[in-house]
Amino acid sequence: MMWRSFIYKATACSLAVSALSVTHHAKADPLGDPQRGRYLAVASDCVACHTAPHGQPFAGGLAMHTPLGIMYSTNITPSLSAGIGHYSLEDFKKAVRRGVRKDGANLYPAMPYTSYSYLTDQDIADLYVYFQKEVAPVDKKGPVTALPFPMNIRFSMAFWNMLFLNGKPYQSDPTKSAEWNRGAYLVEGATHCGTCHTPRGFLMQEDLAHPLSGASLGTWYAPNITPDAVSGIGSWSAQELTEYLHTGRLHDKAQAGGGMGEAVEHSFSHMSSDDLNAIGVYLHSLKPVSNPQEQASSRFTQGSDVNPAIKLRGVVPIMDHNDDAASGASLFMGNCASCHGANAQGSKDGYYPSLWHNSVTGASRGDNLLSTILYGVSRSVEGQQAFMPGFGGKSGDAVQLDDNQIAKLSNFVFKTYGRPGVQVTPQDVALIRKGGPASPLLLLARVGMAASAILALILCVVLFAIRRHKNRNVA
Ligand code: HEC
Ligand code: HEC
Ligand code: HEC
């Protein structure tokens, strides 16, 4: 937790002084302004991936469980021996915008360089000066990523980049307002909302035909945030979106858990209201996308505070949490009611949210309810902590529920307070508990590699034949 409060204080201070010190710093370094760089690093959430739990800021070593295996983020402190102290501005530009390391090796797109490719030259220079001058060097390398064949051949990413990497920094659209352009720049580039909210295509690329229409992250599901009135967030006012991004909660609608909770904590809550408003202006101008499962009614309006389907008074709270016979209702009374209330109405001050009119219980899929129960919620914004314990048996969880109990409990919650038709099975719980479905991509990649090897061989034979043919003609 130490590093979190460190970053907090660091950011709060920097934001406070940045307005005063801009001209001073601009003079101090001809390349860029470290205070602007710091703000951009916060907006881009570099720290989230480049810091291990309890590790030093930007020293890397965070294990990221991807469908292809474990990837480790690297040390991007200005250490000469372990970090990027030896990177020139050009090297840094190439890494952040094109995904190529100083030694020429390709980075995996777990580093969101496809989004950062939109960053302008000046913003990259500001970031560079910030990392070189203001980040404390850490002389320790983290674990090395070793993916299975053929993903260990980094060069294969060059082909992926040819297909999916945008070539140019953000180009302003002169027909749109300055605010819209700022929002587009932030959403597409720095804050990389699409990394989580845009569904992925066949080769793990972002499906740009349906941007921000909702995507599974393995455990959590990042919902549709297009302006569709029913499937998306078209019913939210601009002010509501700003409040949610700033605090991570919006009364009677949604809370931010999982990766969204982290993004709010480290990034969005530190951004200026102008920038958050600009994000809203841009999002509301996008093409609305309607999801088939959430066409009839919005996830924000399920359940009701007037007439909860079941009055739980009289149900005996269970003491033995491993009781197999416990019903969903008594599991709810025993584990959830103490905070969310006996009728799931939440607390008056809004600290404990109600479980109706709640995007998690109103969703058409169980992912986020299962992830909430398994992993809990922990988000701290401006010194205020939103904390719900997990029930998945991680260290620190007071109570551990098994797959069968969590399935029963979730089905009860959906039916009683949320979207009644949603059903989850103990197998669904087991899958989310182990981090989500494995990707068929590895198998595909292997087949793909074999196919391209054969293709390359055929090409060689053809070229050889053509050359021989030409040579013969010349002779
Ligand atoms: C979503 C996670 C994520 C975010 C956010 C992120 N990175 Fe990375 N970054 C990674 C991972 C993972 C790697 C290592 C990839 C690999 O080994 O191929 C990496 C590698 C790098 C490298 C290459 C360093 C080296 O020599 O290995 C640089 C430079 C870098 N990131 C800078 C940044 C900056 C600057 C930001 C913010 C603007 C940022 N990253 C945000 C995940 C992230
Ligand atoms: C690291 C992944 C990640 C990033 C980056 C991210 N989100 Fe999210 N977002 C999520 C997840 C997961 C949820 C669901 C959280 C929950 O219900 O607890 C979510 C929820 C939301 C919601 C609430 C929707 C609902 O139905 O509850 C909004 C609005 C939202 N995100 C907007 C954004 C915007 C705007 C950005 C970029 C500025 C962004 N998100 C970036 C993962 C992400
Ligand atoms: C110790 C108090 C406590 C207990 C016990 C508790 N919760 Fe929570 N719950 C919270 C808090 C605090 C939040 C987060 C509010 C916020 O994000 O601002 C929360 C959030 C949630 C959310 C919204 C999560 C999101 O990310 O959108 C759901 C759904 C939920 N709880 C369901 C449950 C269920 C089901 C149980 C029983 C297994 C339970 N809670 C037990 C305190 C609790």
CA nearest to 431, candidates 345, 475, 365: 365
Predicted confidence (pLDDT) per residue in 377-387, tens digit: 999 999 999 99
**Cβ–ligand 1 contact at 95 (below 6 Å):** yes
- State the ligand closest to the CA atom of 233: 2
The position carrying tokens 């008056």 is 348
10 Å Cβ neighbour count for 233?
28
- pLDDT reported for residue 163: 85
Measured CA distances, 334 to 236, 330, 342, 394 (Å) = 34, 6, 10, 19
Ligand nearest to the CA of 219: 2
431 SS3 class:
helix
User: What CATH fold (topology level) applies to the domain 294-433?
Assistant: Cytochrome Bc1 Complex; Chain D, domain 2 (1.10.760)
Rg for the chain, CA atoms, rounded: 25
From the CB of residue 169, how many other CB atoms can be counted at a distance below 10 Å?
A: 17
Domain ranges of the chain: 1-169, 294-433, 441-475
pLDDT for position 403: 97
Residue percentage of the chain with pLDDT more than 90: 68
Given a cut of 50, whether residue 13 has pLDDT beyond it is: no
pLDDT at 64: 86
Q: What sign does the dihedral 47-52-58-64 (CA atoms) show?
A: negative
| Predicted local confidence at residue 460, as pLDDT | 63
State the distance from the centre of ligand 1 to the C-alpha of 44, rounded, in angstroms: 11
What distances in angstroms separate CA 174 from CA 129, 171, 181, 275, one per listed residue? 30, 9, 9, 19
Q: Any idea which residue has 């009055």 for tokens?
A: 311
Give the separation between CA 427 and CA 366, rounded to whole angstroms. 12
Q: Is the CB of 115 under 6 A from ligand 1?
A: no
Task: For residue range 279-294, list pLDDT tens digits in order.
Answer: 999 999 999 999 999 9
Burial (0-12, 13-18, 19+ Cβ within 10 Å), 342: middle
Among the listed ranges 348-362, 437-451, 458-472, which one has the minimum average pLDDT value? 437-451
Higher pLDDT, 16 or 199: 199
pTM of the complete model: 0.88
Q: What is the pLDDT of residue 318?
A: 46
pLDDT for residue 5 is more than 90: no
Q: How confident is the model at residue 54 (pLDDT cuts 50, 70, 90)?
A: very high
Asked whether the beta carbons of 69 and 110 are under 8 A apart, the reply is: no
Atom index in ligand 2 nearest the CA of residue 195 equals 5
How many whole angstroms from 323 Cα to the centroid of ligand 3? 22
